[in-house]
C-alpha cells in the first residue's frame, strides 16, 4: 500500500515539472541570413587643369608670349627708325618686340625695331642704314627695311647678303608723309613711312625666304611669371648716349614695365597714342670707334662682351657672345647660366665699353 502511494506521488510530481519546465524549440529563419560588407569608395583623383587652349599657337621667340603658329615660324622684320626731334613722334614702333638703340653720327641715335607681327598703316619715319645696323637684323634672321644708307651700310648689305627692302628702290612699300617735310637741303628725310600690308607684298615679290631659321627659334629664355628675380634694386635706368641724348626707363611696380622717356619727354607712339613701355631693358657694351669724317661709328657686335639686364625693378650683370654676323647673340648670367628675361618687350641700348 505504501509503495503504491509512493509511486502515485512520484507520477504527480513528474507531471507538474513537465508543465512548468517546457523548453521552446528555436525558430529558424526560412532562408539563411546574408551579411553584405560594402567596401569604402576609393578617393576620386583630382582632374588636372588642362590650362589654356594653345591650339594653333606657338611661342614667340622674342617675347615668350604665344602667338599664331604661322607668325611664330616666320622671319621677323627689322626696320630702321629715325630718332631725332624732327622725326617725332614716331609711328607703329609700339608693336615691335625688340628695339635696338645705338649712336649713328655725333649725338644722334637711331632705332632698329624688330617685329614678329605687325599690323599698322604707318611705321616710321624710316631712315638710312649704317653698316652695324644690319647686324641687328642678322642677329634675329630678320628681313631688313631701310631708306638709303651710308657707303659702308650698302657694302655690308652686299657683302653679308642681307635680305633687304630699300626705300630708294622699292617704292611700292614706302610712302611720303608731306606733313613731315621740313625745310633745309633735305626736306623729305624725315617723311618716309611703310604700311605693313604693302611691306609683306614687297617681301613676297622679292622672293625672300619667309620661314625662320631653326637656329633662331629660341633667342631668349624667360622667368616664370610668379618667380622672384634676384638683383640690385633699381627703378630708374638712365642711359646717356651723348650729351643731350638721354634715354630714361622708369619702372612701374605692379605693372612690371618700364616707361620710356627721351630727353625728359614721354616717348610716344603716334599710331597707338601711348607712351612706349617695355618689360626688359638691356644695356649692351661693345667696342665702338668713330671711323670717318662724318662721325659714323664702327661697332663690334661679333665676339663677346658684358652688359646689364634690367627687369622687374632689379639690375643683373650679364654677358654676351656671338660667333659670326649670321648667328644669334648668346646671353648668359655671370655664372654661365642662360640669361632669363621677363616675358614681353625688350629695349636694347648699345653703349661704348
The residues that bridge with 282 in the sheet, in sequence order, are 309, 348
C-alpha cell recorded at residue 279: 618689360
| 156 DSSP 8-state letter | H
pLDDT in the model for residue 21: 44
CATH number of the domain bearing residue 288:
3.50.90.10
Does the residue 270 lie in any domain? Answer: yes
Does the residue 324 lie in any domain? Answer: yes
Q: How many CB atoms lie within 10 A of CB 165?
A: 24
Give me the average pLDDT of each 10-residue run along the chain (353 residues). 52 50 52 59 69 85 95 96 93 97 92 94 95 97 96 96 94 89 74 93 94 91 91 96 93 96 94 96 96 88 97 98 96 96 98 92
pLDDT in the model for residue 53: 78
Does the residue 35 lie in any domain? Answer: no
pLDDT in the model for residue 1: 52
pLDDT in the model for residue 183: 64
**Region class of 303: left (phi > 0), else alpha (psi between -120 and 50), else beta:** left
- Selection from 346, 339, 349 nearest residue 60 by Cα: 346
- Alpha carbon distance 60, 96 (integer Å): 12
Does the residue 3 lie in any domain? Answer: no
- Strand bridging mode 245-252 / 236-242: antiparallel
N residues, the chain: 353
How far is CA 197 from each of CA 88, 90, 123, 133, 185, rounded to the nearest angstrom? 23, 19, 11, 24, 32
C-alpha cell recorded at residue 288: 665702338
Domain interval for residue 138: 57-352
pLDDT in the model for residue 131: 95
Does the residue 289 lie in any domain? Answer: yes
C-alpha cell recorded at residue 343: 616675358
Does the residue 12 lie in any domain? Answer: no
Does the residue 11 lie in any domain? Answer: no
Per the structure, the count of domains in the chain is 1
Backbone angles phi, psi at 321, to 5 degrees: -150, 150
Does the residue 253 lie in any domain? Answer: yes
pLDDT in the model for residue 294: 83
Amino acid at each position: 500500500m505504501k509503495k503504491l502511494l509512493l509511486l502515485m506521488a512520484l507520477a504527480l510530481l513528474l507531471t507538474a515539472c513537465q508543465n512548468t519546465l517546457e523548453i521552446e524549440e528555436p525558430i529558424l529563419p526560412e532562408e539563411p541570413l546574408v551579411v553584405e560588407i560594402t567596401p569604402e569608395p576609393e578617393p576620386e583623383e583630382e582632374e588636372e587643369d588642362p590650362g589654356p587652349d594653345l591650339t594653333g599657337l606657338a611661342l614667340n621667340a622674342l617675347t615668350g608670349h604665344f602667338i599664331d603658329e604661322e607668325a611664330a615660324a616666320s622671319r621677323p622684320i627689322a626696320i630702321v627708325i629715325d630718332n631725332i626731334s624732327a622725326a617725332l613722334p614716331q609711328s607703329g614702333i609700339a608693336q615691335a618686340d625688340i628695339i635696338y638703340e645705338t649712336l649713328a653720327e655725333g649725338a644722334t641715335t637711331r632705332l632698329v625695331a624688330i617685329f614678329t607681327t605687325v599690323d599698322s598703316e604707318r611705321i616710321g619715319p624710316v631712315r638710312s642704314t649704317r653698316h652695324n645696323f644690319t647686324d641687328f637684323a642678322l642677329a634675329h634672321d630678320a628681313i631688313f627695311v631701310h631708306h638709303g644708307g651710308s657707303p659702308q651700310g650698302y657694302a655690308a648689305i652686299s657683302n653679308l647678303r642681307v635680305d633687304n627692302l630699300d626705300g630708294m628702290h622699292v617704292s611700292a612699300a614706302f610712302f611720303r608723309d608731306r606733313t613731315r617735310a621740313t625745310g633745309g637741303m633735305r626736306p623729305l628725310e624725315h617723311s618716309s613711312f611703310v604700311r605693313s600690308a604693302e611691306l609683306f607684298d614687297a617681301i613676297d615679290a622679292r622672293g625672300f625666304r619667309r620661314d625662320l631659321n631653326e637656329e633662331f627659334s629660341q633667342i631668349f629664355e624667360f622667368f616664370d611669371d610668379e618667380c622672384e628675380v634676384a638683383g640690385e634694386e633699381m627703378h630708374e635706368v638712365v642711359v646717356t648716349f651723348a650729351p643731350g641724348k638721354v634715354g630714361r626707363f622708369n619702372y612701374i611696380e605692379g605693372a612690371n614695365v618700364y616707361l620710356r622717356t627721351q630727353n625728359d619727354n614721354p616717348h610716344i607712339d603716334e599710331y597707338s597714342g601711348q607712351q612706349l613701355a617695355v618689360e626688359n631693358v638691356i644695356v649692351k657694351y661693345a667696342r665702338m670707334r668713330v671711323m670717318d669724317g662724318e662721325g659714323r661709328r664702327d661697332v663690334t657686335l661679333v665676339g663677346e662682351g658684358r652688359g646689364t639686364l634690367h627687369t622687374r625693378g632689379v639690375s643683373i650683370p650679364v654677358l654676351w657672345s656671338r660667333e659670326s654676323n649670321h648667328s644669334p647673340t648668346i646671353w648668359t648670367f655671370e655664372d654661365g647660366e642662360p640669361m632669363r628675361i621677363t616675358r614681353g618687350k625688350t629695349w636694347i641700348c648699345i653703349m661704348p665699353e
